[in-house]
Structure 1
Amino acid sequence: MSDAFGYTPLDARARERSEALKGPRACKDALWAAVFLAHLALVAALAAMHVPELIAAARDGLHDPGANATLEPQMQAALTHSAELAWPYLLVGLGVAFVWSIAWIGIVQAFAESLIYIALIATPAVFLALTLWPGNPSPVATGVFFIVTMFYACWIVLTQRNRVEFARLTLATVAGVIRTHPGMWIVSLLSMVPAVAWQLAWLMTAGATFFHFRAHGERFSYVDSRTGESREGVSIGALGVITLVFLLLSTYWTSQVISNVVHVTNSGVLATWYFRQRSRLPRPTVHALGRALSTSFGSICLGSLLVALVQLLHDMAESARQNSAEGGLVSSIVWCCVVCFIGYLEALIALFNHWAFTQVAIYGKDFKTAARHTWHLVEARGLSGLVNMNLTSNAVGLGVLLGGVLSAALVAGLAHDRLLVAPTSKPGVSEDVQGVYAAAYALTIAAAAVCAVACTTTISSAVTSGVTTLFVCWAEDPAALLASNPPLHASFEHISSGFLRDHPPRHGPGPDGRADVENPRPLPAQQYQAPTVAVGTPVGQQPPPPNVPVAHAVPASQAGP
């Protein structure tokens, strides 16, 4: 039950949250779940119609002696041998990536603050190195990025110490929760299976569909404006264009759904830990995954569709920008501005959805309600949330970079002699064969780095989801952590009190304890003069700020930086 301002009172929200975390509830946005499943059925129908045609054409080509040029026997042997040598090193790279990803969670927990500062320094350092690199084609652009990132790092270090402390505590806390609930990173890792399977199936379907419309399209002649030569083309027709656009939207939508199911699952586990530490549910990851795939699935489909539509629009604008290069300078500038604007809009919607899905996971809201409440939270603590996410995401991103470098370096060292030196040092080996082994060596290193980046990114997504959820939970209801984990609540409150002393809130709390952004009411500054409390002091001995109820010694909306 909501009040006149669209908020739900704290006790009602607690009951709503408790019911949502415990188990089955009414399905939200079920229509959009049905639309998503129907769209998958349509993609499957396209695959059933067109993939057999592509396979038959490929089979006919294999049996056509004139359709294939036979490679030299030495080249064929080199290709086969290099592939046999490369596979073990790919498995080594994948194993290193997995071990590093798990170890990185522990490193984050132990050195959260150091990683935040290293990440702040590393970004401008990279841009500075690129600016000074003689081979850089655009040193001015990288120099601008260096200046911007350097100013941002200085602003954080010199004026935002409390935000850094809050980011450190959230990062270390979430890493500890993930180590306690390994199901979070297991779900993230297993999500790669449907993601890869979907991409392979989609590539086959899209390729077969394009082949079908091209094979049955109308041929036409045109003059190349750059060379003046006459060329022939094939029109796939309006139906072909619509079908391919639909398939492009499909890959974006499905990929978003898979990643957001993982995000909602991990957010649900973190919320269960936050609100129900004294009455823990058995197998919280299984319960959270079940809710994400059932009662919250429609909301996930709706929010994912919004991002997918903007991604599709971005691609269409980018295609128009490339085609406008022949239309003059003004046209190119206009389309560049359009592409930049759509890209900015895409990033904002993706970030907003990330927060909204946290509301879906915690309270089981439909997407529209979650978006409205997320907007209230963004208005109240938007800058703090963005800074917190930026600091923690950069720190986690270090693990992705280090994982890729570590895996690539190890595979490069192990495979150098056997895959590159030994096969090419034999007498009588041609330059073409040497090129085959060199290419196999380079591709093996690149594949190991890609595997490490993908694995570390996937597992680190559990950290990102957890940080967002912990920020939302603390900003909305810090008293819940007081009831479930008093020592941790004392640490958070100590940091938050310092933040409130340095950055007094502009508006008073709303009817439910959160910021009343629609009807701001200035409060006396002394109301937020929080006492100095040492970390670890028993919570019952901590005096609340003047004029603030004990249950909300730090106002819910102002609780975290």
Structure 2
Amino acid sequence: MGEADKYRQQGDSQQNQPQYQHQGQSQNHGDYQNQAQYNQGYNNNIPAYNGNHQQQQPMNGYQDHPYGPPPPYSFNPPKREDDEKYSFNDAFKLEKPKYNDWWAGLLFLAAFGGYVAISGLSIHGYSKGFAGHGIYDDLNSFSLNSNTIILFAFCLVIAFVFSYIYVWLARLFPKQFIWITGIINLAWALGTAIYYLIKGYWSAGIVFIIFAAFLIFAFFTWISRIPFSALMLKTSIDVSKKYGHVYLVSLIGGFCATALAAWFSVTLVAIYVSYEPSPDNPRCSVSGNNCSHSKVIGFVVYVTFAMFWISEWLKNTIHTIIAGVYGSWYFSPHNFPKRATRGAAKRALTYSFGSICFGSLIVAFIQALKQLCSVVRSQAASEGGVAGWITYAIFCLLTCVISIIEWAVQFVNRYAFCHIALYGKAYIASAKDTWRMIKDRGIDALVNDCLVGPVLSFGAIFIGYACALFAYLYLLETDPPYNRDGGFTAVIMAYAFLIGFQIGHVFTTPIGSGIDTIFVAAGWDPQVMIRDHPELYQEMIRVYPKVQQAIH
């Protein structure tokens, strides 16, 4: 007798077990003529387990929860004669497929079109103006130039290589990965802070000291939660090695993120060259027509916002695709759907395209505000004086408030997109249902005690700071004419950090997506965890006993 059969016999009453049917086959819910019948049959047969799996009692009915039971097709499908044709769409069938939140998809395409237009005009203007080809041979001394493009190109290489290495560290050493991340980030923060302070760059030095202090405090308080987090990370890595094309999606996403960052870097420089007012700028007439500071600021703000939105859409699309793969593993471990990655990708790029754009828009708007605060804060610190430091303190506080809002929205998005991947609902409906499920089930306790998400964020931050440090050293060494007074240092470092952080985030998204999906799936149907993944469930109980209460 297999392990799954033993747990099925311990967890289910043979007398009360309903006989599910699906298209004439067994083990699904076709016998129920309506949803009320299904609710009653399902609710009466879900046991609550104690540590020894000896007692059982009925759980509260799903009818008490506004999100209802999981759809009938979300259970492990039976073995059939046509298993070779069994696909992701068969496992997670949409009864009435439709394009959800289509307005957000159209708005995203319009924003992308605007980004293309501004980029095209700016790059064309750049090619007609001071289009230097090296680090020192650009005659442009009034704005960003080819020197800056080369700087960003190096940042792209650093971000791509570091992100790739970071993902492979997670793959090779999942149990030690959390400690590795903590040690690397702490050493990096302290070393960088000391360097900035020695060089007299006080604002950056103070930021890194605060970051190092926060890391020390965080990992001291996280020690008790590391075993549970390491287990979930190891589970995610093990599944990624056996099912779907998780690392291929990560690699493709990383290439796309790098290409997007390269495009953005050239566009940013081209905007300054084409529209920065200066007597030395051949793109401007003597009277300054066609060039203005307001035009530069407007274009930079727009392309920055568009870049946030596009990169968030890319990250969330990857997350949704990977959620489909892990959802297939959770609900169908013995009959994994064929071409699950392709099926999940097709749904994410069609029916769920608008929903992903909608959720990404909210985060992009918040991130653009935070980036603006970061630039203003850095500029204020570089100016110095009482007024400068007061402004710095105000925008530090504002950045913290915006970061908290961003965290809350990202928290909901992570699990809402898992729901969208499996059940195909619109964004608002998925967010509401998932949030109610998380609170009612107690999944928020698992989420809060799992460190993988914060650890991956620290990894992306590390990559961003590495790019920012390189940008600072590059400007210090090359001393471009446009930055003789240091006026562009803060802006360039901020965008270098942004490039590294976004590429790192895209690369590591698939790792966290697997764990997020396991949590959501366990909330929707904990019985599948107990019945079809008994080894994982037992190990979770061993390292984190509260899991019994959390998923019940």
Considering the TM-score relative to the shorter chain, is it more than 0.5?
Answer: yes
Structure-2 change in CA distance of 1:391 and 1:195 (3 Å): closer
Partner of 1:6: helix, strand, or coil? coil
Partner of 1:246: helix, strand, or coil? helix
Distance 2:393 2:306 in 1: 30
Residue of structure 2 equivalent to 1:343: 403
- The CA deviation at 1:122 is 6.4
- The CA deviation at 1:472 is 2.1
What amino acid sits opposite 1:485 in the alignment? H
Residue of structure 2 equivalent to 1:107: 172
Say whether residues 1:317 and 2:373 are aligned partners: yes
Moved more, 32-41 or 165-174: 165-174
Deviations 1:370-404 (A, max 9, x none): 2223433554343531330x2565389679989x9
Residue of structure 2 equivalent to 1:375: 435
Residue of structure 1 equivalent to 2:300: 244
Residue of structure 2 equivalent to 1:42: 114
Distance 2:169 2:211 in 1: 28
Conserved 8 A contact 1:264-1:358: yes
Residue of structure 2 equivalent to 1:7: 67
Residue of structure 1 equivalent to 2:491: none
Distance 1:296 1:332 in 2: 41
Structure-2 change in CA distance of 1:185 and 1:312 (3 Å): same
Residue of structure 1 equivalent to 2:337: 281
Residue of structure 1 equivalent to 2:248: 186
Distance 1:400 1:320 in 2: 20
**Of residues 322, 327, 337 in structure 2, which corresponds to 1:266?**
322
Conserved 8 A contact 1:249-1:308: yes
| Structure (1/2) with the larger helix percentage | 1
Conserved 8 A contact 1:97-1:451: no
Partner of 1:277: helix, strand, or coil? coil
Residue of structure 1 equivalent to 2:257: 195
- Structure of larger gyration radius: 1
Distance 2:408 2:546 in 1: 26
- The CA deviation at 1:477 is 2.0
Partner of 1:371: helix, strand, or coil? helix
What amino acid sits opposite 1:373 in the alignment? D
Conserved 8 A contact 1:219-1:234: no
Partner of 1:335: helix, strand, or coil? helix
Deviations 1:145-179 (A, max 9, x none): 6665545444444xx4xx44432321111111111
Say whether residues 1:394 and 2:455 are aligned partners: yes
Distance 2:502 2:65 in 1: 43
**Of residues 212, 222, 237 in structure 2, which corresponds to 1:175?**
237
Structure-2 change in CA distance of 1:289 and 1:149 (3 Å): same
**Of residues 518, 522, 534 in structure 2, which corresponds to 1:470?**
518
Distance 1:122 1:55 in 2: 42
Deviations 1:4-51 (A, max 9, x none): 753122455848998685356322211111111122222223344443
Conserved 8 A contact 2:101-2:354: yes
Partner of 1:290: helix, strand, or coil? helix
Say whether residues 1:22 and 2:83 are aligned partners: no
- The CA deviation at 1:189 is 0.5
Conserved 8 A contact 2:417-2:430: yes
Residue of structure 2 equivalent to 1:559: 551
Matched ranges for 1:1-150 at <5 A: 5-10=65-70, 14=74, 22=92, 25-58=97-130, 103-109=168-174, 112=175, 114-117=176-179, 119=181, 149-150=215-216
What amino acid sits opposite 1:264 in the alignment? T
Deviations 1:445-494 (A, max 9, x none): xxxxx999998865543212112222222233221234433433443455
Moved more, 461-470 or 373-382: 373-382
Structure-2 change in CA distance of 1:180 and 1:451 (3 Å): farther
Query: Where does structure 1 lack aligned partners over 5 or more consecutive residues?
Result: 70-82, 221-231, 406-431, 433-449, 501-553
Deviations 1:192-213 (A, max 9, x none): 3332333333344444444444
What amino acid sits opposite 2:68 in the alignment? T
**Of residues 356, 362, 365 in structure 2, which corresponds to 1:300?**
356
Structure-2 change in CA distance of 1:369 and 1:13 (3 Å): farther
Deviations 1:101-152 (A, max 9, x none): 675354235xx1x444555666667777889999596999877766655454
Structure-2 change in CA distance of 1:340 and 1:101 (3 Å): closer
- The CA deviation at 1:187 is 1.0
Distance 1:332 1:99 in 2: 35
Distance 1:34 1:189 in 2: 27
Say whether residues 1:366 and 2:422 are aligned partners: no
Conserved 8 A contact 1:166-1:492: yes
What amino acid sits opposite 1:166 in the alignment? F
Query: Where does structure 2 lack aligned partners over 5 or more consecutive residues?
Result: 1-34, 36-61, 78-87, 141-149, 278-282, 467-477, 479-497
Residue of structure 2 equivalent to 1:443: none
Conserved 8 A contact 2:317-2:348: yes
Structure-2 change in CA distance of 1:218 and 1:248 (3 Å): farther
Structure-2 change in CA distance of 1:375 and 1:184 (3 Å): same
What amino acid sits opposite 1:473 in the alignment? A
- The CA deviation at 1:283 is 1.4
What amino acid sits opposite 2:546 in the alignment? F
Residue of structure 2 equivalent to 1:79: none
Structure-2 change in CA distance of 1:185 and 1:336 (3 Å): same
Conserved 8 A contact 1:121-1:153: no
Moved more, 194-203 or 306-315: 194-203
Moved more, 131-140 or 142-151: 131-140
Partner of 1:191: helix, strand, or coil? helix
Partner of 2:546: helix, strand, or coil? helix
Matched ranges for 1:215-230 at <5 A: none
What amino acid sits opposite 1:54 in the alignment? Y
Distance 1:205 1:143 in 2: 33
Moved more, 251-260 or 462-471: 462-471
Deviations 1:60-96 (A, max 9, x none): x99xxx9969xxxxxxxxxxxxx9xxx9xx99x9998
Distance 1:149 1:142 in 2: 10
Distance 2:368 2:461 in 1: 27
Structure-2 change in CA distance of 1:31 and 1:148 (3 Å): closer
Structure-2 change in CA distance of 1:334 and 1:401 (3 Å): closer
Distance 1:248 1:23 in 2: 38
- The CA deviation at 1:273 is 0.8
